[in-house]
Chains A and B, each alone.
Chain A
Amino acid sequence: MNPSLPSIPLSWYLLLSAVLFTLGVAGFLYRKNIITVFMSIELMLNAVNLSFIAFAYQWRQVEGHIYAFFVMVVAAAEAAVGLAIILTIFKNRATLQIDDVDSMKL
Chain B
Amino acid sequence: MDTVLFIVFAAVAVACAVNLILQKHPISSALSLVGVMGSLAVLYLLLGAEFMAVTQIVVYAGAVMVLFVFVIMLLNTGQETGGGKSWFAQVAGLPLLLAFIALMGLLICGPLMPRLRAVQFGSWHGGTARAIGRAIFTDYLLPFEVTSVLVLIAILGAVVLARKEID
Chain A: CB-nearest residue to B152:
A77
Q: Are B47 and A53 in contact (CB under 8 A)?
A: yes
B83 within 8 A of A: yes
B116 within 8 A of A: yes
Q: Are B75 and A77 in contact (CB under 8 A)?
A: no
Dominant SS among interface residues on chain A: helix
Alpha-carbon distance between A1 and B123 when the two chains are bound, in angstroms? 9
Q: Are A18 and B97 in contact (CB under 8 A)?
A: no
A80 within 8 A of B: yes
Q: Are B26 and A33 in contact (CB under 8 A)?
A: yes
Number of A-B contacts (CB under 8 A): 240
Interface string of A15-57 (1 = CB under 8 A from B): 1101111111111011111011011101100100110011011
Q: How many residues of B contact A (CB 8 A)?
A: 82
A9-B116, A69-B52, A87-B161 known; A33+B77 contact, CB < 8 A: yes
Contact-residue size bin, chain A (C-beta under 8 Å from the other chain): 35 or more
Q: Are A20 and B113 in contact (CB under 8 A)?
A: no
A22 neighbours in B (Cβ, 8 Å): 97, 100-101, 104
Q: Are A32 and B40 in contact (CB under 8 A)?
A: no
Residues of A within 8 A of B (CB): 1-2, 5-16, 18-27, 29-33, 35-36, 38-40, 42-43, 46, 49-50, 53-54, 56-58, 60-63, 65-66, 68-70, 72-81, 83-88, 90, 96-99
Beyond A32-B82, A39-B26, A69-B136, 10 additional pairs, beta carbon < 8 A: A8-B6, A11-B108, A12-B10, A23-B21, A24-B17, A32-B83, A36-B80, A39-B68, A72-B55, A72-B56
